Structure 1
Amino acid sequence: MRKKQYKQNSIYSKANTYVTLSILFWIPTIIYFIAFTQGFHFDGIFHLLPFIPGLIGINFWRKYAALKSGLKGEERTSIALQELPSSYKVFRSVQINTSEGNAEIDHLVVAENGIFIVEVKNHKGNIVGNEADYKWTQHKVGRNGGRYSNQMGNPVKQVRRQTFILSKFLKQNSIPTWVEGVVFFCNPKVSVNVYSERTAVITDPDELKKYLMNYVPKHKVSKLDIEKTKKLIEEGALEYDAV
């Protein structure tokens, strides 16, 4: 029997690494700034050198801020999924590496009525798009009232790719079962205006729970396949975060 494999909150570890690196790179700049106020400074172009680490530190801090936003979204989703019945097994940040491609699944839910991939987005503002679009548009209002728009990757296409890779992986392990994808916008300050007929796009935690609990599979789901899937993951076939 293979040993269970956990990634021990890899996203949190990465966020902590970015914070640590940003602080370390800021230190030389801060020390030089203090020394400068006391009358010490380098001459000529060398005066700018101590500020280079500070710029690198800012870059790491921006990476941390982006991860922090995602972490908040995953926490909101985890809280919602924890309220599912005990028969629903939830795995977080599942890594899949296959010949068909690689994928990281935000939340994988294995239940009697199916296997679900929940792709989590923590965007806010008004999201507009179509399931066939390559990009969706995010309309936001800034702190000073200014309106602006950003392009974001279509999460429906993203979750469909993940379901394809996971389905192939399960079939390779003699588990020919259906996998359903769900997109969950977890930020309470979001409104979503998208057309998606084949893949559910949900914004409310209670609606997410209802969808998972009331879902009627398109294809018959074998109880044996569900148990085999749980066992396969828990025995180490896939890496996932310990929740």
Structure 2
Amino acid sequence: MQFLIIYSVSSLNLTNEYLSHKCFLNQGKYNSGSDYEDILNILFRRVRTDDYDITGFRYTSKETSPLDSSSVMLQCRGDSYGSNCRTCADTAVTGFLKRCPKNKGGIIWYEQCFLYVTSIDDPMRIPTNYKNTFSMYNPNNVRGDGKLFSKKAVDFFSELTLKVKKPAKYYRVIFYAAGEKKLGKNTLYAMVQCVELTLDCKNCLAWSITKLFENGNIKQGGRVLGMNCEIRYELYPFLRS
């Protein structure tokens, strides 16, 4: 089941602010001191100590038994990599252990990254899905013609989507594009991003763009986040240059 959480957001910065989480209760829990806990802690240490090059991405997995395995995936926002991404990774692991204690699976989002943990799905083979998505909006409505604003915003998102490149075989790339555009007296800032393992990036972004503007109540800022892709726009700068 898809879940939707709407927040009132007037200003966000470059900190690792907690956004949302979901514990996968259907995957069950592990016992303290179990082999599963030991394996998961190994995966978490890998995530916490990665160098995080420009892709800001880490995927790691390990079998806990012939019939059981654990996988952890972390993706940082396109402007957060290196030490910034590593700091968010550490925050995300700590937050997951606190909010989903002993859970074998779940997902947690922060301002600059999200962490996905699972015991039954291999993220390397997960197709695009929209089950774990949510939206956030600036509480203020756009002044003037909201329909015209949304049309121009959608057009700009489409321009950015075209800049997200298809990966070359055997080469790691960053599925991220951002920019700004003058709209009358305002400047629109926007970004689009897909997780490195997403199988259908552009369709995921197209779905998110439609989702963002479906309620007809056009806000001064908004975003849709999920485990496959993310989009966001604001009338103020929110990314590192």
| TM over 0.5, shorter chain | no
Structure with higher helix content = 1
Higher relative contact order (CA 8 A, sep 6+): 1
- Report TM bin, short chain: under 0.3
Greater gyration radius:
1
TM-score with structure 2 length normalisation?
0.27
